[in-house]
Amino acid sequence: VSGSGVPQLVQPMIWDYAADLDVESKVHLIEKYRRCGFSKVWFASAFKGATGVNQSLTLIGHHLKNHLQWLKVASNSPADVLEGIALTGWQRYDHFSVLCELLPVAIPSLAVCLQALQNGGYSEKIKENVEKLLGMSNLEMETFMR
């Protein structure tokens, strides 16, 4: 691949929305890309829309766990390999499906995930900051927001 010139033209994006994504396999995948000549990779996570075709509310805890796993992948990879992370928010699973969670109900999830990435983890203090920022009294992480 490196002889083709492709690694100088593109940067691979590794997609995974699972709350329990396999950190070790992602680190190995990054190593394979490096051996093929790719110096940078992107990660793709999801803050909404990746848990069910007809999901109407966002389960924040699932998406937070996904981002915390991506942080582990980043910390177990060479420091210069990560170009960025795309926080996807899927609107539907395909063009023939109904809409899944709409953006307004997913704003708390987006805020939590962004704060986790910005702070390199998640804590009660970060949760309190997100609640204050959004004007909410209690973010429900493992159940659906009321």
- Please report the pLDDT score of residue 145 as a whole number: 52
The DSSP secondary structure of 88-105, one letter per residue, reads EE-S-SSTTSPP-S-HHH
42: helix, strand or coil:
strand
- Please report the pLDDT score of residue 2 as a whole number: 67
Could you tell me the mean pLDDT of each successive run of 10 residues in the chain, 146 residues long?
85 97 98 95 95 86 97 96 96 84 93 97 95 92 67
Strands (E), the chain: 13-15, 41-48, 82-89
- Judge if pTM exceeds 0.85: yes
Domains, the chain, in order of start with CATH, read 6-134 (3.20.20.80)
- Please report the pLDDT score of residue 142 as a whole number: 80
- Please report the pLDDT score of residue 53 as a whole number: 82
40 within 8 A of 7, measured Cβ to Cβ: no
Cα distance between residue 41 and residue 65, in whole Å:
21
- Please report the pLDDT score of residue 93 as a whole number: 81
- Please report the pLDDT score of residue 13 as a whole number: 98
- Please report the pLDDT score of residue 141 as a whole number: 83
Q: Where are the alpha helices (DSSP H) in 49-99?
A: 60-75
